[in-house]
Amino acid sequence: MTDDILQLEAVSMTWESADAAGRTVLDGVDLALARGEAVALVGRSGSGKSTLLHVAAGIAVPTGGRVRLAGHDLTGSDEEARTHLRRAHIGLVFQFFHLLSHLSVRENVAVPGWIAGDDRRRTRERADQLLDRVGLLDRGDDPVGRLSGGEMQRVALCRALLRGPALVLADEPTGSLDDRTGREVMDLLLSLTREEGGALLYVTHSRELAARADRMWRLVDGRLQAGDAA
C-alpha cells in the first residue's frame, strides 16, 4: 500500500483532430503525489496543465497509461465509479470560481455535501466552520453575486474542502485575482489544505506562488519535467 494519493503512470492524452495524427497534449507523464504534499504545476498556455488536472480528477480519461487515485485505478473505472471516486477524494478549485449564482454563500459551500447525501446538520456546521475560517461566516446568507472576486474564490476553497478531500486540484486559483488578493487566497489554500491533511496540486503561472509548494513540476509540450524544489 503506497502512501501516494495520486499516481500517474505513462499517461498520454491525444485529442482527435482532422489530421490522422491527432494532437498529443500529455505524452507519457509519470508522477506521484504523496498525501499531505503540495505541488505546483507550471507551464506555458496550452502545455496540457488543465488536461493533466482533468485526468487526475477522472473528468477526462487518458488515451494511454494509468491513473490511480487513493489506490483505485481511475482508468479502469467506468464513468459512474470515477464520479464516486472524485466525490470521495477530490476537491476542485477553478480559476473562475464557478459558483452557482442562485444559491447563497453557505449553500454554495454545501453543494458537495448535498450531492454526496451527507448528514444535513453536519454539512451545514462544516460549511460554517470553513466560512468562519476564511472570514466569511457573516456573509453566509448573502447571494454570491454580492461578493468580490477574492471572496468568491474563498467560497470556492471552502466548497472544495467541505468533505475533507485527500486531494485538492486547483486550476490557476489566483488567475482571476489581483496580486494581493491572489496571495491571500493562495495562503488560505495552502494553509487550509495542510490543516485538513490533504494533498494539493495547483496550476499557476506565477513563479512566486509556485515557489510556495513543496515541489514544482513543469509541463513542456506534454512531458513532465521536475522543476525547482521549493
Partner 1 sequence: MIGYLRRGLTQHLRQSRTLVALTVLGVALGVASVVAIQTLNQGSLRAFDGSVRAVSGQADLTITGVLPFLSETLLPTVLADREVESAWPLIRANVAVTGRPDLNLEVVGFDVFAPVRYPLQDAAARQSDPNRLLTEALARPGWVAVTPELAAAEGWAVGDTIAVSSGSRAVTLEVGALVDFRRFEPLAPRRLAVMDIAQAQEMFGRPGRIQQIDVVLREGADPAAAALRLQEALGPGARVQTPEQRRQDASGLLAAFRLNLTALSLISVFVGVFLVLTTVQASLVRRRREFGVLRALGATRAQVLGLVLGESAALGVLGVAAGIPLGWFVARGNLQSVSATLTSIYVAEGIDRLTLPPSVIALGVAVGLLGAIGGALLPAWDLARRDPLRLLSPLALHETAGRHAGRLALGAGLLAALGSLWFFTLGRELRLGGFVYGFVMMLSLPPLVPLVVRTVCRRAHPSRFGLALSLRNLLARLQTTSFAVAALAITVSMMFGITILVGSFRQTLVTWLDVTIQADIYLSSESWQRTGNDAFLDRDLLDRLAAWPGVISLEEQRRLRVTTTDGRPVWLNGLRMTDRPLPGVPRADLATRLPLLAGEPRAAVAGLREGGVLIGEPLSRKAGLTVGDTLRLAGPEGPVALPVKGVTYDYTSEGGTAFVTMDVLTARFDAAPPNNAALFLSPGVDVDTTVEALRREFADRPLVIRSNRTLRGEVLAIFDQTFAVTRTLQGMALLIAALGVSVTLLIQAHERAGELALLRALGATRRQIFGLFLGEGAAMGALGLLLGLGGGVGLAALLILFINRTWFGWTIRPAWPGGDLALQAVVVMAAAALAALYPASRARLARPGQLTRDDL
Contacting partner 1 (CB under 8 A), which of 46, 71, 114, 226? 114
Q: How far is the CB of 172 from partner 1 (least distance, A)?
A: 10
- Closer to partner 1 at the Cβ: 96 or 179? 96
Q: CA-CA-CA-CA torsion for 161, 168, 211, 33, nearest 10 degrees?
A: 140
At 181 the three-state DSSP class reads helix
214/230 Cα distance (integer angstroms):
5
Cite the DSSP H helix spans in 67-178.
Answer: 79-89, 105-116, 120-133, 149-161
159 is a contact residue toward partner 1 (CB under 8 A)? yes
116 is a contact residue toward partner 1 (CB under 8 A)? yes
- Closer to partner 1 at the Cβ: 100 or 230? 100
At 10 the three-state DSSP class reads strand
CB atoms < 10 A from the CB of 213, how many? 24
219/48 Cα distance (integer angstroms):
7
The phi and psi torsions of 182 (rounded to 5 degrees) equal -60, -45
- Closer to partner 1 at the Cβ: 36 or 175? 175
Residues 45-104 that bind partner 1 (CB under 8 A): 54, 57, 59-60, 79-80, 83-84, 86-88, 92, 94-103
Contacting partner 1 (CB under 8 A), which of 112, 140, 150, 222? 112
230 is a contact residue toward partner 1 (CB under 8 A)? no
Residues that bind partner 1 (CB under 8 A): 54, 57, 59-60, 79-80, 83-84, 86-88, 92, 94-103, 107, 110-112, 114-117, 120, 123-124, 159
